[in-house]
Amino acid sequence: MNSKVFIFILLSVLLLPTGCVEASKAKEEKKNTAPRIINIVNFIRQTDYRLENSDALMFETVEKQIDLVNQYDFPATFLFQYDALINPEYQKLMKAKLNPTCELGAWWEITQPHVEAAGLKWRGEHSWVSTANIAFTPGYTLEEREKLVDVYMAKFKEIYGKYPKSVGSWYVDSHTLEYMYKKYGIVASCNCKDQVGTDGYTLWGGYWNQAYYPSKLNAYMPAQTDEYQIPVPVFRMLGSDPMYQYDAGIGSNHQGVITLEPVYTEGGKSKKWVEYFLKTIVDEPCLAFNYAQAGQENSFTWSGMGEGLIMQFPLFDSLSKAGKIRVETLEESGRWFKEQFPKTPATAITTLVDVRNEGNKSVWYNSRFYRSNLYWEKDGFCFRDIHLFDEKMKSEYLDTPGTGGQFFYYTLPVIDRFYWSTPDDKIGLRVVKLDKNGKGTELVLADPVVSEPSKSVLNVESKDKSGNNFIFTFNEDKIDISCNAAESGLDWALELRVPQDRLDRLPFKDFEKSSVKSEFRGFNYNVACEKGSIVKGNNTDYVLRFVPSGNKLVIVCTTGQ
Domain shared by 463 and 376, yes or no = yes
Distance CA 148, CA 141 (A): 11
pLDDT at residue 2 in the model? 52
**229 is a domain residue:** yes
Distance CA 140, CA 399 (A): 9
More confident residue, 551 or 5: 551
pTM strictly above 0.85: yes
Domain shared by 72 and 142, yes or no = yes
Domain shared by 332 and 466, yes or no = no
Domain shared by 12 and 123, yes or no = no
Provide the β-strand partners of residue 222. Answer: 214
Per-residue pLDDT for 24 more than 60?
no
Residues 6 or more apart whose Cβ sits within 8 Å of residue 288: 34, 210, 340, 341, 345, 346, 347, 455, 456
pLDDT, one tens digit per residue, over 429-485 is: 999 999 999 899 999 999 999 999 999 999 999 999 999 999 999 999 999 999 999
**SS3 (DSSP) at 97:** helix
Contact indicator for 195, 249 with CB cutoff of 8 Å: no
**198 is a domain residue:** yes
Domain shared by 302 and 383, yes or no = no
Domain boundary among 347, 379, 397: 347
pLDDT, one tens digit per residue, over 478-531 is: 999 999 998 988 999 999 999 999 999 999 999 998 999 999 999 999 999 999
Per-residue pLDDT for 60 more than 70?
yes
**Considering the chain, what is the average pLDDT of its residues?**
92
Domain shared by 339 and 375, yes or no = no
Phi, psi of 10 (to 5 degrees): -60, -45
In terms of Cα–Cα distance, which of 37, 162, 57, 179 is closest to 108?
179
pLDDT, one tens digit per residue, over 152-205 is: 999 999 999 999 999 999 999 999 999 999 999 999 999 999 999 887 789 999
Beta-carbon count within 10 A of 381 CB: 22
**354 is a domain residue:** no
What is the CATH classification number for the domain harbouring 322? 3.20.20.510
Domain shared by 264 and 366, yes or no = no
Beta-sheet pairing, 508-511 with 492-496: unpaired
Per-residue pLDDT for 422 more than 90?
yes
Give residue 388's domain range: 361-556
**353 is a domain residue:** no
**352 is a domain residue:** no
Please, what is the Cα angle at 43 between 193 and 216, to 5 degrees?
50
Domain shared by 469 and 451, yes or no = yes
Number of domains in the chain: 3
**356 is a domain residue:** no
On the CB side of 388, CA atoms within 13 Å amount to 26
Domain shared by 208 and 302, yes or no = yes
Contact indicator for 379, 203 with CB cutoff of 8 Å: no
Domain shared by 178 and 301, yes or no = yes
pLDDT, one tens digit per residue, over 336-389 is: 999 999 999 999 999 999 999 999 999 999 999 999 999 999 889 999 999 999
Domain shared by 541 and 505, yes or no = yes
Domain shared by 315 and 461, yes or no = no
Q: How far is CA 486 from CA 25, 26, 430, 489, 553, in A?
A: 42, 39, 19, 9, 18
Distance CA 461, CA 473 (A): 9
DSSP state for residue 207 in the 8-state scheme: -
Distance CA 67, CA 73 (A): 10
